[in-house]
Structures are given as C-alpha cells and as structure tokens.
Copies of this chain bind each other. A is one copy, B any other.
C-alpha cells in the first residue's frame, strides 16, 4: 500500500478547527513507521465503513442543539436530568430521521444510545436508553405476535416510553429471589401486582424515576394459589396525558451515583396494581383465562438476550479503554517533566520507561478485547442461528465464554482506564481530562449484567465439567479443546520465546489451574463436605481458573488474528500489531508469573529474557504510539478531553475549560460577604 500521501490528507481534512498543532506531537507523527489510516480502515472493516462512521459522528456531534455551553458537572442534579431529557428526545428524533432515510440500523441505535458516541453527547447517561435497549427488545423477545403488534408500533414511534424493571432493592444477580408478586385474579382476568416488602421495591432501572410511563416488570407469578416463578409483565406506570403516577404506583429516582447521573435510575413499588391478563408477555409461558398455567417448552430460549448484551459490552469496554489510551498517550507526548540526564532539558514523560509501562499494555489490551469481541460476536451469531433451528449444543460453550469474557474485559478495562488516568498525574484527576467520567462508565460494567465473580464461577462450573470430560477421554468443543491434550500427562518441552510456546503456556496455566481447583474440590468432597460447600470453599481457585481460561482464549485470538492479517495488510502495520500482541502476551506472563512457574514449562532462568523482551517491545511501540492512537480515530468530541485532543494544546484547553466554571464568572463570590468576611473580621 503506497497511499500515504492521499490518506494523510484524508486523515486531517475532516478535523475542523485544527489550530496550531503542538510541535512535539507533530514530530512524533512524522516519525511513525506506518500509516494510521490503514489501521482505521482495518478496525472499521473497510474504507467505506470508516466514511460512514465519520458521517454518522458528524451528523450527531455537529448539531448545535446537542452542544453544551455549561458542562453538566457545574449543574445541579435536577438541571442535569432536565437537560438529559431534552437531549435524549433530540437524539431519538435524529435516530428516527436516519431510519426514515434508510440509514438507521440497530447498530446506530446501540452506538448513539450507549457506547462512546452516546457518551460524547450525554456524558453521564441517557434516561431514554433503556426504552430502546431493553423495553422494545423484551417485548420483541418475549411477547406473542399479537402483543408485538399491539405494543411495538407505539414504542417504536415513542408514543409510549418504557423501561425494564427486574432488579430489586434487595435482589440483584440471583433473580429467582425476586419478591415482587403478580397474582392472577380469574374473576376479573387481571394480575394484581404487589411489593410485599421494602426490599422488593424495584431499584435501578434506567429512566424509571421520572421518564418512562411504561415498564416491563419481572415478578413472581401466582395463579391458582401456586407460585410459578418469575415472568415478565407490561405495566403502565404513569398517566399518558398528565404523566402523574397511577394509583398504587410508588415511584421516584434512587439518587446520585459514581457515574451515569443522567440515566434517571428509579425505584418502583406496587400496592395492588391491576393489569389485564393480556399484559403478561406470553411468547414462552402463558396463563389462560381460567388461571391455568402453561409452561414454556424450553427455558434456554430466554438466555439469548442476556448473552447478546454481554457480547456487546466487550466491544464497548474496548472502546472506553481506547478513549483513555488515546488521551493518556497524547498527553504523555505533550507533557514534559523532569530530566533523564541532569544536564539535559525537561523530557516528554513518554520517554520514561515506567510511563511506557503504564500506557502501552493497556493500548495493547484495546486490540486484545476488540478481536476477542469480534470472534465471540461471530460465535454468537452462529449459535443463535443454530438455536433458531432447534440446535442447542453450543449454547453452554457460548454461555461459559460470554460470562468469563464479560468479567475479564470489564475488570481489565476498568483497571486499565484507572491506571491510564493515574498516568496523567494531577490533571488526570480533573473532569476536564474526561478520565473520571470514563472510569465511572466502565467500572459500572463490572457489576451490571451479572456481577463479575458470579460470572467467573459460572464459567468455572463449565470448565470443571469439561476437565472431567477431557480426563475421561471425551472430545470437547473448540474453546476448551486445549484441555484434551493437557489432561494427558505429556512431558513439556523446554521454554522458547516463541508465540506458539507462549500461547501453549497460557493454556497450560489455565489447564493447571482448572485441574488444581477440580482436585481440591474433589478432595473436600472426599473429606465429607457436601458438593455445595466444597464448591464454595474452593471458589477462590475456581474463579482464578476461569480467569486464566479466559486469558488463554484472548491470547490465542490475539495471536491468530494478527497472524491471519499478515497477507491482507502492509508489513509496517503488521509489525506494529505484532509488537502489541507480543507485549500483551508477555505482560500477562510476568503479571501472573507464579502461575507460569508452577504450571507451564517456564523456568526461573527463562524469566530475565522475558523481562528484556517486554522492555524491547515498549521501546518499539514508543516510536509508533501516536500513530496507533491516531489510527483508533476517535474524534475530539468523543474523547471530550483537554489532555487528549488531536492538536495537543493541553494547557490552553485546560485553561479554557476552567474558564467555563460559573464560579469564574464573578471576581468575588457572594460567600465572601456572607460568611468569610464576617468571620475574618470577628477576631480583630
């Protein structure tokens, strides 16, 4: 590919208001050994897709009505919410317009309502997101054809706004424990909803506080005197004209949080609220007019949505991390601090190897997660296609992989964003860096859609089973196939610093930890513990085994993806991607060194060469770091950071951001006259 000149133009042409460029950044860009735009096209898929994405970003981010004059951080909580409703409506209107022009697929919705584009417009959440992301999909997935006909058109045109109310004040991940009841009354053919305790109040649903007028509510179904477990119901919450809560509905918002303060997370209590029988979503299970309960033919059908969300989240996490890496790397090039040589000038902080060590492993993680996300997305599509044909075989494998990948990605992503924030020193602590808000969004993913430890233990359950199958000689599905070989006692070959050996070592660690946890559990059962208690007492090792399995999967995907690209991209880009890949796989060996010394063929004597190789990779990536983050192609408006903008005018932007503070609009604040002056003069 020799399109360097043409593509350089194209990189800069869409960047409006590119004022004077920081000189250090400019020099760095000239030193790059590869063409960032090639990376951009690779990540988007094709040059056309890059163009489409940029057009879409332009469409949303250049709308003057969506720009902030006063940043939300200076406003009161109430003002933040009110402005979020205004913007949320505008965004949905624009989405509908795109749709009418034939340009709006579900992809647009998910980007504008969640993800990095969405958080560029509404930095701290959108009270209307769950309407599209949960309310409509719940009706689509769990409603009958008639129910879909009745509700979807009203929801699609936003004639009603809904949310999805499952979690309760006292009940989260363990949904069987939900307390809200829906009791069928055959006399009136209605369900009667109640919140028997305070802990049964619905708690957390986005938009529930003051925005939605409908909700899909998950409740324990009682009919003919028997509890039939949890089921979904469509419930009207507020009057369609006045928006006043309906009788028996106790509703409000749950208060401020670490982040997402504009999402209007709400609570909801029921006091004998009656809804028609038809409002139970009956695609799966049903209640007939006389109260007869008809059970769904297959429980697993509802797993689909849950896995879909987890799969999508992995990609979102990669994007948040990419944002933070872009900000921290650009800032580390511009920022000068201290001297490497005592007679030299102050140096760019990116020249410190300790700083590189804080930056580049997380940059490498962005690609690790992106490619793992691509792969599981394809697997998800294959498995759901099989599902539609009644084929359930690969469902447990997909479920096990989605669980651990969501957990590891969110945990690595949150830790990565936070370390990148800390790498920016004091300025990383300011909201103007946009690092705190980015952390707020990504750390939330550690908890929602399945708490991470719970998810890891679900994967572990699958792995223990797979291990036992492997030991007894059964064939295993692709993502655990490596256990077949490793369950047999094979003499390990001596360590080599090759990617093949490194991938095998990661798998050997995973297998070793799965075996160890399984053995320990069996030992405990052998000693008389019940299987459940043995599981609990072994759960630290079980969770760690699931993490190692996930890491081995990510490492394998990383190596195979980069190797697979070698024929379709330039050598210069391939070299860069290979360096990042090597950095990632070695970083995790050194970070889990004990495991590798115990379970792989790595020996004490092999460690120094790995450390040296890590340091070499840092040095190699150093040269191209700016090119890599430029290639991620995240617009300034999406970065939303004074430290990370393309032009590198860090200090001017920090100053400009400070000047937006309402406190800075007056030279003397009234608190001086009211409190400070009387106090200062009182001791004279």
Contacts and interface: CB of A to CB of B under 8 A. Distances in A.
A170 B676 contact: no
B338 A671 contact: no
Interface stretch (A85-93, A387-395, A499-507, A560-568): A85-93
A196 interface: no
A255 B75 contact: no
B669 A82 contact: yes
B256 A73 contact: yes
A681 B173 CA distance: 37
Q: How large is the interface on A (under 10, 10 to 19, 20 to 34, 35 or more residues)?
A: 35 or more
Max chain B Cβ within 10 angstroms of own Cβ: one of A82, A255, A430, A530: A255
A158 interface: yes
5 contacts: A82-B671, A89-B676, A243-B668, A252-B661, A253-B664
Interface in A168-217: 169-174, 177, 198-199, 201, 203-204, 209-211
Interface string A645-684: 0000001101101111111100111111111110111111
A479 to B, nearest CB: 23
6 closest A-B pairs by beta carbon, nearest first, are A593-B594, A157-B683, A258-B436, A85-B671, A89-B679, A174-B338
Given A73-B255, A85-B676, A254-B430, 13 more contacts: A177-B337, A177-B346, A209-B663, A211-B676, A243-B668, A254-B658, A257-B431, A257-B436, A258-B431, A258-B436, A264-B663, A358-B453, A422-B447
A429 interface: yes
A520 B92 CA distance: 59
Given A210-B668, A353-B537, A354-B453, A172 B426 contact: yes
A661 to B, nearest CB: 5
Contacts of A538: 353
A470 interface: no
Interface string A257-284: 1110000100100000000000000000
A490 to B, nearest CB: 18
A446 interface: yes
A335 B174 CA distance: 12
A161 interface: yes
A615 to B, nearest CB: 7
Contacts of A598: 593, 597, 604, 607
Contacts of A614: 540
A81 interface: yes
Contacts of A339: 174
A77 interface: yes
Nearest to A432: B255
A336 interface: yes
Contact of A540 (B353, B443, B597): B353
A615 B210 contact: no
Contact of A255 (B431, B448, B452): B431
Interface in A574-632: 590, 592-598, 604, 607-608, 611, 614-615
A608 B599 CA distance: 13
A293 to B, nearest CB: 22
Contacts of A432: 255
Contacts of A386: none
Given A354-B453, A425-B172, A672 B243 contact: yes
A340 interface: yes
A76 interface: yes
A252 B654 CA distance: 13
Interface of A: 71, 73-79, 81-82, 85-86, 89, 92-93, 96, 157-161, 167, 169-174, 177, 198-199, 201, 203-204, 209-211, 238, 242-245, 252-259, 264, 267, 335-342, 346, 351-355, 357-358, 418, 422, 425-426, 428-432, 435-436, 443-444, 446-448, 451-454, 457, 516, 520, 530, 532-533, 536-541, 543, 590, 592-598, 604, 607-608, 611, 614-615, 651-652, 654-655, 657-664, 667-677, 679-684
A611 B252 contact: no
Nearest to A596: B594
Contacts of A655: 169, 198, 201, 267
Max chain B Cβ within 10 angstroms of own Cβ: one of A204, A243, A611, A677: A243
Max chain B Cβ within 10 angstroms of own Cβ: one of A199, A238, A538: A199
Contacts of A157: 683-684
Contact of A663 (B78, B89, B171, B198): B78
Contacts of A677: 243
A77 B662 contact: yes
Contact of A340 (B85, B252, B533): B533
Contact of A658 (B259, B267, B354, B537): B267
Contact of A86 (B444, B536, B604, B671): B671
A104 B258 CA distance: 36
Contacts of A429: 257-259, 443-444, 447
A242 B209 CA distance: 45
Contact of A594 (B89, B255, B428, B594): B594
A257 B673 CA distance: 26
A203 to B, nearest CB: 8
Nearest to A439: B258
A211 B679 CA distance: 12
A255 B204 contact: no
Contact of A422 (B78, B199, B253, B446): B446
Given A210-B668, A436-B257, A658-B267, A342 B532 contact: yes
A71 B256 CA distance: 10
Contacts of A340: 532-533, 536
A274 B286 CA distance: 84
B81 A543 contact: no
A357 B453 CA distance: 11
Nearest to A594: B593
Contact of A242 (B204, B652, B668): B668
A412 to B, nearest CB: 14
B661 A253 contact: yes
Given A252-B663, A655-B198, A532 B341 contact: yes
